[in-house]
Every structure is written in C-alpha cells, then in structure tokens.
Structure 1
Amino acid sequence: MARKLNFDPPPADVEQSNPSVEASESAAHRMRPLMGLGRTAKPPSALGAITQSLGNISERAKRAEEIEQKLVEGQTIVELDTGLIDGSFVPDRMESTEEQNAAFRDLIRDHGQNVPILVRPRPDQPARYEVAFGHRRLRAARDLGIKVRAVVRVLSDEQLVIAQGQENSGRTDLTFIERARFAARLEERKFSRETIMAALNVDKAALSRLISVATRIPSNIIDAIGPAPSFGRVRWQEMLDALTDEKVRARALAVVAEPDFASFDTDKRFEILTARLREPAARARPESWAAADGTHAAKISRTGTKLTLAFDDRTAPNFGDFVRERLQKLYEEFKASSS
C-alpha cells in the first residue's frame, strides 16, 4: 500500500528561485527525467519481450508522472547550497560507476535540473538538510559547483523513508539487491513492516523474500558483488540456496577475496561467483607419509578445515590402533605446546 505525501511550503528563510519556467511548460511537453538513465537489465527471452517492454514503459511513465506531480504542483522550489545537504540516514544505493556519474552530470549541465530533490531540515542540526530522494541530482550539482533545486519539507523518519522508497520504486531504479538491502536496513532500524511495504510498494510475501536474501547472504559477499543490475530475485535466491552449504559459502568467501575479483564490473562479478559456485569441489589428493625406515604407514589429506589421517594396515599393521590409543596423550602435549 503506497502512501500519498502532502508537501507543505518550506521555511521562509530559504533562498527561492523563479518557478515560472516549470509553470509555463505544458504537461504534454514537460521533460520526464524520472524515466531516464535507468540501469540496463538483461534482456528477456524473445517470447513476450515486446509485451513486457511496453508494459514496463507504461508503468514507469504512470509512476513517474505521479511523483512529478507531487513535487511540482503547488510547491515552492528553492535553491540550496549543496554543502548544507547530507545523505539519507538509511542509504539505499550501492556503488555507481564513474561513467554513470558522468552521464548524469552531463545531463544536468546540458539540460538543467528539471525535477527538484526533496529534503528535510535535519532534526539534530536544523541549519542543515537531509535528502529524502535525489541523491544523484545532488551529487551532480555538487560536482558541477552549482546550487541544487529542492523542495524543503519537515518529515518524520517514517515519512522520509517512504518518500525515498516510493520515488525509487516509481522509477524502477534500484536493483533487486539494493531494494533488499534497503528493506533489511529499515527493519534493522525498527521500522514497522507496514512502513517498509509502503516505502517499497510490495506485499508481505515479497518483503519477506527481500529481507531474507539481504540478511542470509553474508554482507561481505553482497558488498563484493555490488548492485548487479542484470540479475533479479530468482538469481539471487539461487545464490542464497547454494550458500546454505557451509563448504560452498567458504568457497564463495575465498572467491570474492581474490585480488582481481574487484577489477570486474558488478554484473561480471555476479557471473564469476555463480559460475565458480557451480564448479564441483576439487577433490583433495592424499599425501603419503613415510617413516624414516621408508615404510609408507599413513596418508594425509586436507579438505577445507579438515585434516584426515588414513593408516594402511597392510604396510604397518596395528599402527593406526597404536596412534588411536595415544590420542589423549598427544592432545595434552599439543595443548601444552600451544600455551
């Protein structure tokens, strides 16, 4: 269930810009920046691709229009120094490439900022502001050294995260894992399930799946992969299912820790990890242990965190039983040497 936000006029002491340009544009010709610069998703199969594409465009257009109307109708747009604005207390985005940042920055420089961001006065520092949504527009304005156009509104924490989540949901802009993390962070901060559902525009079942993936996949694996825009719920759920095996999880942690893993783009990192997890575990080759007299009395193999000794009764009869009877003494000697 989505909540409709009612924007009140901003504080009177904020520098105002002239909104006549926005008012003079007709609805038919108004730019639709909320529909632009979406992340490229992996194309669907040929069957149904056209229908899916048209449906997505129609839905995104409808949501973007609703959001834009909430922002610009009856609201006073002001210009703020970017140095006075901080990010949201609950981050929803992961990494952005320099190419993505540059493309958005060029768009703002060439065409101006057509849609304002939404900020609130910080509860703990009233002289500063906190973003509800518009982080990329804020970053672009900051990089360009210009003021950012904004609507200022006093918002509770709940209202801020709902506005933040609904705006991103309207543009279908966050990837699956970013939405999952945003949901998990909101729950960690004790927001109600109703509030999180409203912020992400999802039902209870979908919210449970989001939180499950974000909390059960180790956070360092998610951090190492990044937003992975080409991969949705099904592929992340497959990864979660694979990682329930302790050995597979250990292998995944080893893969993401490899020095060259971070050099690939985020989608490639996802592909590399899932491919490596599907590989059969390498079988440990036992190493033969020979006594000083040349007798090959045992074989040693190590797999992950386990070391196994296998005694050969044909070459050294009863040697295994001899060692087993002395395990307690060997363990005590080991403990004494480690202290």
Structure 2
Amino acid sequence: MQIGPYLIDPPVVLAPMAGVTDLPFRQLCKKLGAGLCVSEMTIADATLWHTEKSRLRRDHAGEAEPVSVQIAGYDPQMMADAARFNVDHGAQIIDINMGCPAKKVCKVDSGSALMKDEKLVGEICAAVAKAVNVPVTLKIRTGWAREHKNGLVIARIAEDSGIAALAVHGRTRQDLYEGDAEYDTIAAIKQALSIPVLANGDISTPERARYVLDYTKADAVMIGRAAQGRPWIFREIAHYLATGEKLAAPSRFEVSRWLLEHLDDLYSFYGEGRGLRVARKHIQWYCQDEEGREAFWTAINRVTDASEQRAKVAAFFDGDIGYATAA
C-alpha cells in the first residue's frame, strides 16, 4: 500500500489508541512486523501543546519511518495549525481522528461526532491537507448512528478534500466497541474510492485478516485492541498474507523477552515512577491467557518499584511464582 511517498509493507497497520500507542509500543510493534504505526491522538488546542502529555506524544526519537501522528479537534484552522506543528516536530504523515467514540472526545464535537456534520468534515480535511506538504490520512467509522451510516458520503468528501488514505472501523459511533464489526460498508467505500482504504474492526487472527481483505478488497488491515499484549500479531498476519501459512506461536522465552524489553523502554521513556504505572496494563494484557494470572496481577499491582516489577514479571514467565501454560 502506498501513502504519498511511503510504501507501507506489510499492509498491516497499528491503529491509534489513546493511552496505548505511545513511542515504546509503536517501536515494538514495528520491530514485530507492523508496516505502519499511528500515534496516540494529539489535541489540536494549542494551549495544551506544552503539557508533559503532549510533549511525550510528539516524541519520535529513534522511531522508524514513516512517523504517523493523529490529531483531534473540531476547528479547521486549529487542526491546520496542529498539523503544521506536528510536521515541524517530526510527523511524516498526519492522521485526522474522526473515529474515536469516547464521550470525552465526542462531547467537544471531535472524533466520530464530526461525522454528523458533513460540511465541517470537508472543511477540516481540506484545511489540513492544504496546510502541510506530507500525506494526510483520515480515520472514520461507518456512521454516527446505526440508522445514519454515512461513511460512504464522508469517504467521498474526504477523497475530494485531499485525503491520501482512509481507515474505516466497521462500527458506528453509537456501537462503541459492542457487537460485531461489519465489512459491507468498508467494501462499498473501497469500491467508490481511488485512494487506499484500510479495514479496521475485529481483526484478531491472520485468517480474519485474509478474510477481511478478500471481502472488502481493502488495501490494508488496521489492528487495534488485538495488539494489546500481543504485538507479535503483526508478524503473524504479515506472514500469513504473504505465504498462506501460519507462524508457530511465540515461545514463552520470546514473550518474556519482548515484555521485558517493553518494560525497559517504558521506564526509560516515562521515568521509572510513571513508567511502572503505565506498565501495569500492558503486563495484564500480556498475561491475559496465563494460568495464575489473577494472583499475579494482584501482586504486581501492589509493586511500587520498577526493578521489583521487572523482576516479578521475569519470575512469572520463568515459572518461579506459579507460571503454567494455559490449557
């Protein structure tokens, strides 16, 4: 898949997820096979750009190209300014958020709430595309309500406004993450557009990725929640798409090595105190299928020292504190 000057190969993309797709996680997912990783959303409000959270979200030190940064907001000029600001700080692709269904985002008329105002969608897309000399992509849902699936209309507006590629989550804003994703709307959008289309929603196995690509004719798949605690899903999908064969599941040693590497990067990126706190959810995701996980999570959540946290994780995978392979 081509986005501007960038070849996205393999066509397996990490979805932007607030509180998840920070620099350490993006780096690990790229190492494990993702063709592109999109950052956590950054707010278009310039008064927040100099907070610690914003500073960390625009840290791209050592990140493999291309660097894709998602911006969120409701005002075309503010969004254009945010795009320029992020390009000045290393972004090589700007992604516009019109897919987030979270209440705190939608209540300020951002994210998927923007799909209610088709005119404003066009104004934002055009303003951002004209503001920067890098590709601008867009993430949407199939509509803002089950009775108002206007994803195809929005998609056409986006293409006409200069958007270089479009990611579509197969649910409406109303659906949140409930029920099954549907791919008919994505297929209709792909058929109507000439720009690349990425299919997103419920893609959690290599077989599912192949099915969705075949069904929708999309140019790539976008993986979100399925990558939490399982960053190797990208190499699994990429291998299956290329060969039709499934990779063997990673060994316990490999999972432990990747998790410990992830923890070290979190401690370095955030500092040990905050890094320890951020690490807790990732540890839980990595261990979600392991026997003894509940007792382990209880123990690990009480730890307040990064070295101790790391040691307990290593011991859990070594079998020293009740590790057993899930049946």
| TM-score bin, normalised by smaller chain | under 0.3
TM-score (norm 2): 0.27
User: Rg: which structure is higher?
Assistant: 1
TM-score (norm 1): 0.27
